[in-house]
Structure 1
């Protein structure tokens, strides 16, 4: 069984060798002998035992077994990251796995790990490995060529502005690193605060991704990357909030260390967007999809800029059929046109969301003042996916209470 895992173990087939080794060898020793991580050896032994005892045979679930082995390899990489190994230390193993599968399969495996309940912190680490391994090939990719006015063009123009702000902030941090507490004057803190006010407008950029791009990716069964990115958005938001606290109470050393980390994380996000997210969206979305993105993003707003003229969205089917006289809807007591009903619901001094029996958002009132930022991209989406990963359990608790009758 061991020789099937690695040629190094073939010497165990020699007469008497297996019996002799069996008396003294531990799994740790065997793993070391084969140059294999212990958890990799355990996973491979389990697969071999299953096959030996009548598990999946060739041609009968063999592909499923191979997929499971790859998934276990991915898990072992995550376990190493969790135990403290660096991205650099696991990069070669991930690269070897990537030679057997393409990036879309890795995304699918990452999604399976999420569905199994793997903590988001571990998935975020894996995302960093994923990008680092493919960085060389990603760098060789042609730059995205989206026409002015197209949602991707607008996102990338916003990234140009953000990158400029981050570069200026990095320059300010070099000076701060040389200061003592007395030199970090109120005036210098005020300059940093104004810069952070400008940078914080990136939130609209992130909210548009969360409400416009991520729901469409889910429609094409690509949910893993969006969940990871949303978690990273929340990390960045927390970093920006923490900056305000450090400007009040922190010294120059703590402030510089924190902001250096924030700049690095935000620049990494720009890279992940332009090298992974946007190309994936351009590959999967139809022109009708992009028209819906364009139609909904104006409700959220833009960071620092407005879309340029150029790209013209296609006419959506729902727009084509809305040009005639509005229909009348029969209610329990009377009739209203669609226009009248929309006006009435938007005018109520409350924020309304309707989630159907399948836990999908079917309607929200587009009032001027909203508790949660939303756009038409959330329609048809599972309500649990319309909120940051950290608050999903709260949303689910509310939904369960409504379903059980505990709350009206």
Structure 2
């Protein structure tokens, strides 16, 4: 660091100089330098960091093919440790987050319940298991992990509702990193459940996995409340918060839920009126209302992205398989997927655009559903690629069919 740091007073330091130092500190952490030494440099030459500075840092991409999961976890933990206690208080001038029903208020209510779950149940039962790995203690710990696994709803709301708007304001780094950590946590809870459900007497592996989950979930609460939420409050408009609040119910909540609807001081967004105009197609004429109802009544989920990989439409059926919110409209499809699966999306789109493939199918088991996912390259009459159609269906009921049915029930 000596080649870029001088002894000028912090108050007089040029913002550009601070950014150079911060980028170098991040690089030092990535390169494996001692975290305590890096933090000492941070304290000496940066001291306090603002949300704007964190948002403005150019994100250093971590190639997952080049770094192990453990190495990525080390780097993210080092980032959090460097910022802990150093983020300047950033009080919102708008201040709606204290009102029940506001998305941030709900997120923080959930976080308090998560902390109670970690402290009063998971940690207690882990200590009991460490003393005696009896069937009773195994079951208690497994029940806790099963309950904690539903934290996916909390993280999904964040990923599908908060992240898209941050990206709209050009803020990508924190969202990419946080989504990766969310996935680490999901994987950790799942691994702990599997080890407990198929316990083979290896007590230490269970203890390490559950300790990892407790530590990372606690760290995520800190990241959310000291970095993510202040960053969102500083940038989002009231209208955007209203949209987020309205769409949160669709994904669901964890351990608690808003007890009342948030009513902003200025106004509620009026629902967009659907035009009663008609669309003439080659095989018929439908009103916009009819077309939307028709698509929403199909027993499948449909999503369309254009030739620039931007999400333009998704159907809104009664039972969606994957969470979709209106915030994804206008967002690139790459940013709608977890970072670790983006390469699959890129490969698929590359094959569609080049004409190498016209279709691709996947099938996966999701809880009680057997999900068939089909992708189609959409081409015009001149065979030019204009986008991709995603077609998702729960085929469990179809697989269960037997015999024939020829008359009405």
Common topology (TM > 0.5): yes
1:217 aligns with 2:169: no
Please give the per-residue CA displacement for 1:258-301, whole angstroms capped at 9, x wherever unaligned: 21121011011111111111111111110011011112212111
Secondary structure of the corresponding residue to residue 270 of structure 1: helix
Identify if the C-alpha distance between structure 1 residues 365 and 284 changes in structure 2 by more than 3 Å, giving closer, same or farther. same
| CA-CA distance at 1:141 after TM superposition | 6.7
Residue 280 of structure 1 corresponds to 231
**2:68 is equivalent to residue 148 of structure 1:** no
* Unmatched 5+ stretches in structure 2: 5-13, 359-409
Aligned to 1:161, which of 105, 110, 113?
113
Q: Which residue of 1 aligns with 2:123?
A: 170
Aligned pair 1:208/2:160, yes or no?
A: no
Contact 2:351/2:357 (CA < 8 Å) preserved in 1?
yes
Judge conservation of contact 1:208–1:300 (CA < 8 Å) in 2.
yes
TM-score (normalised: structure 1): 0.74
* C-alpha distance in 2 between matches for 1:69 and 1:264: 29
User: SS where residue 312 of structure 2 aligns?
Assistant: strand
Is 2:194 aligned against 1:242? no
Correspondence for 2:138 among 186, 189, 192: 189
- Structure 2 CA distance for aligned equivalents of residues 104 and 130 of structure 1: 16
Indicate the residue corresponding to 2:281 in structure 1. 331
The aligned runs of 1:303-314 (5 Å cut-off) are: 303-309=254-260, 311-312=262-263, 314=267
**Counterpart for residue 26 of structure 2:** 74
Question: Cα deviation per residue 1:2-40 (whole Å; 9 max; x = unaligned)?
Answer: xxxxxxxxxxxxxxxxxxxxxxxxxxxxxxxxxx6xxx7
Assess, with a 3 A threshold, how the Cα gap between structure 1 residues 123 and 291 changes in structure 2: closer, same or farther: farther
For the pair 1:379 / 2:335, whether they are aligned, the reply is no
Match of 2:61 in 1: 114
In structure 2, the residue corresponding to 1:330 is in which secondary structure?
Answer: strand
- Partner residue of 2:37? 89
Distance in 2, Cα, partners of 1:386 & 1:375: 11
1:384–1:396 Cα contact (<8 Å) kept: yes
**Higher helix proportion:** 1
Contact preservation (8 Å) 1:154, 1:307: yes
Q: Alignment partner of 1:335: what SS?
A: strand
The residue that corresponds to 1:355 in the other structure is 305
Aligned residue for 2:46, secondary structure, equals helix
Q: If the length of structure 2 is used for normalisation, what is the TM-score?
A: 0.74
Give the counterpart of 2:251 among 300, 303, 308: 300
Q: Distance in 2 between matches of 1:196 and 1:158?
A: 16
CA deviations on 1:349-374 (whole Å, 9 max, x unpaired) are 33211001111111112234444322
Shift of residue 151, structure 1, vs aligned partner: 0.7
Take 1:79 and 1:307, find their aligned partners in 2: how far apart are those partners?
43
Distance 2:153 2:67 in 1: 26
Matched positions, count: 340
2:239–2:269 contact (8 Å) kept in structure 1: yes
Tell me, yes or no, if the aligned pair for 2:51 and 2:231 is still in contact at 8 Å.
no
Partners of 1:140 and 1:219 lie apart in 2 by: 24
**Residue 390 of structure 1 is aligned with which of 301, 326, 340?**
340
**For residues 193 and 76 of structure 1, do their structure 2 counterparts lie closer, same or farther at Cα, with a shift above 3 Å needed?**
closer
Deviations 1:298-348 (A, max 9, x none): 21111122212152154336x2x517x633223223222222212221222
Tell me if the contact between 2:126 and 2:141 (Cα under 8 Å) persists in the aligned partners: no
What's 1:402 paired with? 352
Partner Cα separation in structure 2 for residue 73 and residue 305 of structure 1 = 39
2-side partners of 1:285 and 1:102: how far apart?
A: 17
Structure 1: any 5+ residue segments left out of the alignment?
A: 1-35, 45-61
> Alpha-carbon deviation of 1:70?
5.4
